[in-house]
């Protein structure tokens, strides 16, 4: 798509919404006939009404997934053949990239430039990468004596429930579905109620690519009904989830109270950006600090929401961060120049504004932003907000805000920097800026986080595992060959030779 306003508007005006759950290879009506509204958070207007699933619909979807798994049409297919199907799916996503980008921009309030240039291309790459890995995952032979053969093989775990978040709807679906499907599992995907449209369309594209009936199903509705039904279902062998720590706890509870299904959780974060006093290129650092804090409106588990900076350079760096932040326009997600779109809904906007009020009440100082803007649009927009004079025991320094809010804390010594960085319940990601390679190695190892990026803000790429320590993760990792582990069982076959 040309990132020109008129082209985007024209494409958005003609996009068609899929509103039914996708079960057993086709779109079907929800049994209850109930619907829920899908809202455009940039305008407050309803995009469309989507069929609302309940326990009966989840039962149908799980039954379809179990039938597809037990028949062997997908798990027993040669890995090379599965690879070819998933490559075709990647090609179809690429072919329909404009439509999918618009769906996510409308549904989530995401800047269209991010959807076009980041989310959809990375989803394509994710499916391709895992497709190519499908026939390159080897088993092992144990070191036995001459009279026996010990084979260690991997088998698909079964029917997987994939509960997908609203901040990166299609991309996070790809992170889950790519490795789950590549290893031969069947899937029931549950998109967030706020962002259902692109996943419902993805299920249809998978069918077109040649994924057999029942291998990929998508059920729509609220987490407290559909998500809980999946989490408690005796026919689901594993749940993979990205979202809040609160919901992650519930999924562990559901597993313990049902069939002890495997639970894989990628949860919240309160990621520090540690800037040492030896840094000389503050313009470069400021660019990464702003991107880490405000990309995707700060609605990002790995957002660098805490700037932990040496006291000697705090004022100089903060001045540059503020100046760079002013260059990030807030506005209509379909406007190509927009860098910061809307909050996902009114509730999230009010939550973020509540944190800003709390931060000021605790004694922190707002040096930029802090208010709701663009009221006239009907959308849920908040200015990028920067605090200074933040103590690490403040609520805004400890709790995940999930909005465009950056809090600034200072330190004097390396040990103090490490202590502040680690003083949080989370451990998903961290960034470190230093000109000293020895400091880089020491601190990267000392910071307790699943990913530590040095002299940049990054989550790594498709080849590197992504997940967290402490309350940021449990049970596995997304991305890389490690992502396949959580969707497979390890089997030993012990053969006595005669």
Catalytic residue annotation: 266, 301
Which residues is 493 bridged to in the sheet? 151
Percent of the chain that is helix, strand, coil (3-state, to 5): 40, 20, 40
Task: Report d(CA 343, CA 354) in Å as an integer.
Answer: 14
Torsion angles phi and psi, residue 388, rounded to 5? -125, 180
Dihedral angle sign, alpha carbons of residues 428, 434, 435, 438: negative
Torsion angles phi and psi, residue 159, rounded to 5? -95, 125
Specify whether the CB–CB gap between 464 and 480 falls below 8 A. Answer: yes
- Extract the tokens encoding 438: 């020895």
Task: Report d(CA 271, CA 395) in Å as an integer.
Answer: 14
- Extract the tokens encoding 446: 């000392």
Dihedral angle sign, alpha carbons of residues 236, 242, 244, 245: positive
Please compute Rg for the chain using Cα positions. 23
Task: Report d(CA 446, CA 106) in Å as an integer.
Answer: 41
Specify whether the CB–CB gap between 3 and 116 falls below 8 A. Answer: yes
Q: In what order do the strands lie in the sheet with 488-496?
A: 140-141, 148-156, 488-496
Task: Report d(CA 217, CA 214) in Å as an integer.
Answer: 6
Task: Report d(CA 181, CA 160) in Å as an integer.
Answer: 9
Task: Report d(CA 424, CA 439) in Å as an integer.
Answer: 22
- E-strand spans in 230-337? 238-242, 262-266, 272-275, 306-310
Neighbours of 324 (CB within 10 A): 17
Kindly list the distances between the CA atom of residue 367 and the CA atoms of 129, 315, 388, in Å, as whole numbers in the listed order: 43, 12, 7
Neighbours of 112 (CB within 10 A): 26
Torsion angles phi and psi, residue 271, rounded to 5? -75, 130
């Amino acid at each position: 798509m040309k990132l020109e306003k008129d082209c985007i508007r024209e494409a958005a005006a003609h996009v068609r919404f899929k509103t039914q759950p996708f079960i057993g290879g086709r779109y079907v009506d929800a049994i209850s006939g109930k619907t829920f509204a899908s809202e455009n958070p940039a305008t407050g207007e309803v995009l469309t009404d989507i069929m609302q699933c309940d326990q009966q619909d989840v039962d149908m979807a799980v039954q379809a997934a179990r039938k597809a798994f037990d028949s062997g049409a997908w798990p027993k297919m040669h890995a090379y053949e599965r690879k070819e199907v998933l490559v075709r799916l990647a090609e179809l996503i690429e072919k329909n990239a404009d439509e999918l980008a618009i769906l996510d921009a409308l549904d989530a309030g995401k800047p269209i430039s991010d959807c076009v240039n980041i989310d959809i291309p990375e989803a394509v790459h994710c499916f391709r990468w895992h497709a190519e890995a499908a026939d390159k995952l080897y088993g092992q032979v144990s070191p036995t004596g001459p009279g026996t053969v010990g084979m260690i093989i991997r088998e698909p775990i079964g029917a997987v429930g994939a509960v997908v978040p609203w901040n990166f709807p299609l991309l996070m679906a790809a992170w889950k579905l790519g490795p789950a499907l590549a290893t031969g599992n069947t899937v029931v995907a549950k998109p967030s109620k706020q962002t259902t449209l692109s996943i419902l369309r993805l299920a249809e594209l998978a069918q077109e690519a040649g994924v057999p009936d029942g291998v990929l199903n998508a059920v729509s509705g609220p987490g407290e009904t559909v998500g809980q039904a999946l989490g408690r279902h005796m026919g689901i062998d594993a749940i993979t989830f990205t979202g809040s720590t609160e919901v992650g706890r519930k999924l562990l509870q559901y597993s313990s109270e049902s069939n002890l299904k495997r639970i894989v959780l990628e949860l919240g974060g309160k990621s520090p950006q540690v800037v040492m006093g030896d840094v000389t290129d503050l313009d470069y650092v400021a660019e990464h600090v702003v991107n880490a804090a405000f990309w995707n409106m700060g609605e990002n588990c790995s957002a660098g929401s805490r700037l932990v900076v040496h006291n000697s350079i705090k004022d100089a760096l903060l001045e540059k961060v503020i100046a760079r932040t002013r260059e990030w326009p807030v506005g209509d997600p379909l406007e190509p120049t927009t860098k910061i779109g809307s909050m996902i809904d009114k509730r999230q906007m009010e939550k973020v504004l509540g944190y800003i009020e709390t931060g000021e009440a605790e004694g922190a100082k707002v040096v930029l932003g802090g208010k709701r803007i663009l009221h006239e649009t009907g959308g849920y927009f908040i200015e990028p907000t920067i605090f200074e004079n933040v103590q690490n025991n403040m609520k805004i320094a400890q709790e995940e805000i999930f909005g465009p809010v950056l809090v600034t804390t200072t330190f004097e010594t390396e040990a103090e920097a490490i202590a502040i960085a680690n003083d949080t319940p989370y451990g998903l990601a961290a960034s470190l800026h230093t000109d000293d390679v020895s400091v880089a190695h020491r601190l990267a190892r000392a910071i307790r986080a699943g990913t530590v990026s040095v002299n940049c803000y990054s989550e790594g790429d498709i080849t590197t595992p992504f997940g967290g320590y402490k309350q940021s993760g449990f049970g596995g990792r997304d991305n890389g060959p490690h992502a396949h582990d959580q969707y497979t069982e390890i089997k030993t076959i012990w053969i006595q030779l005669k």
